[in-house]
Amino acid sequence: MSVMEERAGIGNTPYKPLKSRRRSVWASIKRDRYLYLLGLPGLICLILFKYVPMWGVIIAFQNYSPFLGFGASEWVGMEHFQRLFANPDFAVLFRNTLAINLMGLFLFFPVPIILALMMNEVRQQVFKRVVQSIVYLPHFLSWVIIAGLTFTMFATGEGLVNKVLEQWGLSRVEWLTTPGYFWAFLTGQSIWKEAGWGTIIFLAAIAGVDPQQYEAARMDGASRLRQIWHITLPAIRNVVVILLILRMGNMMDVGFEQVFLMQNSLVSSVSEVFDTYVYRVGIQQSEFSYSTAVGLFKSVVGLILVMGSNYLAKKFGNEGFF
Amino acid sequence: MKESFSEKLFNYTNLGLLLLIGLVSLFPFYYIIVVSFTDSKSFISNSLTLYPKNFTLDAYRYIFSTKTFTNSLGVSAYLAVVGTALSLIVSAAFGYMVSRKRLYGRKFFMIALVITLLFNPGIIPHYLLIKEMGLMNSTWSIILPGLLSAWNAILLKTFFDGIPESLEESAFIDGANDIRIFFQIILPLSLPALAAFGLFFAVGYWNTFFQAVMYITDSTKWPLQVLLQAMLVESSTGIADAGVASQMASEQQVTPEIIKMAAIVVATVPILLVYPFLQKHFAKGVMLGSVKG
């Protein structure tokens, strides 16, 4: 701490502007050449791993052949997109993606808010901190582990829940291979993994409330629930609205790993989403051009949704995200 | 102030519910740990295992004696250490560069960074790129694309924004260049933030699954998560019974279920170990950022 402060103190010396005479652009670049050099590795990564693949989407308009490469592959225009829209799979992919997201919106989204409100009402600081540490923890586990834990609990053979059901004289339930349960399982997993972590932002917003407001409300005889309703909730309303809008922007995204790990042949009718479809068709069946077209369609719709939600966020009087 | 009855009721209900939520969050961990220490006979004969019966280390002894598991553990540890160190340097250096207001083209770099957050070309172009670069079956296929994490670079930039440029002035006068200043002044000054981001990177690399599934087909080079998937998922839905865990188990007198539990425990322990540090540093980093900004 002392070192940090000491060093930070250097920054408090009066700001001396760089030599104020007008410099040409070239002189400025030359002056900062070592700064550019610092950023160079990152810049190379940015171009190579982010922008080259963006250029790579042109194969969605080709019949890409790995032997011919980008340059020599045959151009086919919108053929792959037409194939996608004509495919009966398309409606299923769209429905599943949307359904999983809507389930998340209605069932997952309110949980961190409620959890944050509850944690905020805890007066015992130690208890609060312990609960926080516990509910944050699952966020750091991989989806593979989460899937493994889900199987441990719900598998038909050795799953704990089915063992308990059997102990009680009830029959076992095929939790993981029944299509009707699939979306609920995904939502439940998301809640278990991320709801606690999601409280951080709401707790931060709540922390900004002036304690005097609660004091005043208590003098007026407001119960704790009324204080939550009239003081705490309005205080986090902006954050809630922003996160809600942001979520709207991600309606096309379903975590690939989560769905991929929970998929099995018996639930494929409800579990195939755009991302898993692209993986299966593109990488496992090597249909590069068609699957790139599918991915591009998803990305463009996603981009429109994100831009739209950013516009909405700005309309709500916030800065927007970019 | 004396609490009224309704006040008390509210408090205890709230505490009770939170306690319940905490237990639900923890229970799966508790259960797998218990099972992983239970011996096979008790696990099969007793349908419910809620405390370790006939404590044994068989499952752990077994998984650590297999080459598959120790190999994967090594790959994941390598990814976490090398990947984190490189990502941290590259992302922080880039974030630092765009945080310096005097830099010509700064806005251009920022826009270039933000665009990558908005538009994702999908997995196939990435896959083809890695293939073209000849990185298939190499750990570089996982490390290189992650070196510049746009999101983390932006957060690091926001953190560096709080460090005034005048801080570098005296070092400039003493003849140090930006690279020296970055490594000898800025980085040491940013240790709490670096610790937080480093641990986030480390958790990310440790949890890498999807990229490894795409790029690493050679099972001797699988990181832990891919091996775990083969052990846990492929054999757990009751459809494919010939999973890795049952293969492992048939060679030994340990039930596949118990081997799976032990594997989950081993894969989770590193995270549990870094987690307290992560929390501490994260809080510190955030506070430092707010004090300076």
DSSP B155-192: HHHHHHHTS-THHHHHHHHTT--HHHHIIIIIHHHTHH
Q: Which CA distances in Å does A73 have to A60, A110, B159, B196?
A: 11, 49, 46, 46
Query: Do B170 and A10 make contact, defined as CB atoms within 8 angstroms?
Result: yes
Q: Which residue of A has its CA nearest to B7?
A: A224
Burial of A76 by CB count in 10 Å (0-12 exposed, 13-18 middle, 19+ buried)? middle
Token representation of residue A312:
């909405």
Where exactly are the structural domains of chain A?
25-74, 87-316
What percent of chain A clears pLDDT 70, i.e. is strictly above it? 91
User: In the prediction, which pLDDT does B54 show?
Assistant: 80
* Packing angle of the helix pair B256-292, B58-65 (nearest 10 deg): 80
Across A120-145, average pLDDT = 92
Q: Please report which confidence band the pLDDT of residue A272 belongs to, taking 50, 70 and 90 as the band edges.
A: very high
pLDDT in tens, A197-209: 999 889 988 988 8
- Sequence-distant (≥ 6) Cβ neighbours of residue B82 within 8 angstroms: B139, B143
What percent of chain A clears pLDDT 90, i.e. is strictly above it? 59
Query: Do B94 and A224 make contact, defined as CB atoms within 8 angstroms?
Result: no
Per-residue pLDDT in tens (0 to 9) along chain B, 293 residues: 566 888 889 999 999 999 999 999 999 999 999 988 988 877 777 667 677 778 888 889 988 988 889 999 999 999 999 999 999 999 999 999 999 998 999 999 999 999 999 899 999 999 999 999 999 999 999 999 999 989 889 989 988 998 888 888 888 888 889 999 999 999 998 888 888 889 889 999 999 999 999 999 998 999 999 999 988 876 554 444 445 666 665 555 678 888 889 999 999 998 888 877 777 666 554 444 443 33
Q: Among A61-65, A104-108, B235-239, whose mean pLDDT is lowest?
A: B235-239
DSSP secondary structure letters along A262-276: H--GGGHHHH--HHH
**Sign, Cα dihedral of A87, A92, A96, A99:** positive
More confident residue, B249 or A258: A258
**Sign, Cα dihedral of A182, A184, A189, A194:** positive
Task: Measure in Å the smallest separation between the Cα of B257 and chain A Cα atoms.
Answer: 8
Any domain includes B131: yes
Any domain includes B166: yes
The CATH number of the domain where B147 resides is what? 1.10.3720.10
Chain B partners within 8 Å of A158 (Cβ): 257
Q: Are B80 and B202 in contact (CB under 8 A)?
A: yes
DSSP label of A254 = -
User: In the prediction, which pLDDT does B284 show?
Assistant: 54
A90 phi, psi to nearest 5 deg: -60, -45
- Please give the single-letter amino acid code of residue B185: I
* CA atoms within 13 Å, Cβ hemisphere of A25: 3
Q: Among A8-12, A273-277, B63-67, B76-80, whose mean pLDDT is lowest?
A: A8-12
Write down the CATH superfamily of domain A87-316: MetI-like (1.10.3720.10)
Q: Among A12-26, A156-170, A210-224, B74-88, whose mean pLDDT is lowest?
A: A12-26
Q: Which residue of A has its CA nearest to B30?
A: A149
B128 touches chain A (CB under 8 A): yes
Q: Are A251 and A98 in contact (CB under 8 A)?
A: yes
User: In the prediction, which pLDDT does A17 show?
Assistant: 52
Q: Are A146 and A193 in contact (CB under 8 A)?
A: yes
Burial of A172 by CB count in 10 Å (0-12 exposed, 13-18 middle, 19+ buried)? middle
DSSP secondary structure letters along A112-174: HHHHHHHHHT---HHHHHHHHHHHHGGGGS-HHHHHHHHHHHH-TTT-HHHHHHHHTTPPP--
A279 phi, psi to nearest 5 deg: -65, -45
pLDDT in tens, A289-301: 999 999 999 999 9
Nearest to A67 by CA among A229, A288, A297, A223: A288
Cα-trace Rg, chain B:
24
Chain A partners within 8 Å of B185 (Cβ): 7
B169 touches chain A (CB under 8 A): yes
B236 touches chain A (CB under 8 A): yes
Nearest-angstrom CA–CA distance, B291 and B178: 25
Token representation of residue A151:
């199987």
Query: Residue A318 in 3-state DSSP?
Result: coil
**Sign, Cα dihedral of A36, A46, B275, A121:** positive
Nearest-angstrom CA–CA distance, B248 and B232: 12
Q: Among A60-74, A248-262, B106-120, whose mean pLDDT is lowest?
A: A60-74
Across A147-165, average pLDDT = 88
Point out which residues pair with A279 in neighbouring strands. none
User: In the prediction, which pLDDT does A13 show?
Assistant: 42
More confident residue, B242 or A65: A65
Q: Kindly state the helix (H) or strand (E) to which residue A75 belongs, with its residue range.
A: strand A74-75
CB count within 10 Å of CB A198 equals 23
User: In the prediction, which pLDDT does A7 show?
Assistant: 40
- Sequence-distant (≥ 6) Cβ neighbours of residue B229 within 8 angstroms: A144, A147, A261, B209, B213
B237, B272, B280, B281, best to mutate vs chain A, most A CBs in 10 Å: B237
User: In the prediction, which pLDDT does A12 show?
Assistant: 42
**In sequence order, which ranges of chain A are alpha helices (DSSP H)?**
2-10, 25-31, 33-46, 52-56, 69-72, 79-86, 88-103, 110-120, 125-136, 143-154, 160-167, 179-207, 211-219, 224-227, 233-249, 256-262, 268-271, 274-278, 288-315
Nearest to B35 by CA among B259, B272, B266: B259
Any domain includes B288: no
Hey, which of A16-30, A277-291, B160-174 has the most confident mean pLDDT?
A277-291
Q: Are A247 and A302 in contact (CB under 8 A)?
A: no
Nearest CB neighbour to A261, from listed B153, B188, B233: B233
- Please give the single-letter amino acid code of residue A36: Y
Chain A partners within 8 Å of B166 (Cβ): 11, 13-16
User: In the prediction, which pLDDT does B164 show?
Assistant: 86
User: In the prediction, which pLDDT does B242 show?
Assistant: 47
CB count within 10 Å of CB A78 equals 12
Domain count, chain B: 1
Q: Among A185-189, A194-198, A299-303, B174-178, whose mean pLDDT is lowest?
A: B174-178
B236, B259, B266, best to mutate vs chain A, most A CBs in 10 Å: B236
User: In the prediction, which pLDDT does B275 show?
Assistant: 79
Nearest-angstrom CA–CA distance, A42 and B76: 23
Domain that includes residue B203, residue range:
67-239
User: In the prediction, which pLDDT does A4 show?
Assistant: 41
Q: Are B56 and B39 in contact (CB under 8 A)?
A: yes
Place of tokens 């755009």: A274
**What is the ipTM score, two decimals?**
0.88
Mean pLDDT of chain A: 87
Pairing of strands A74-75, A62-63: antiparallel
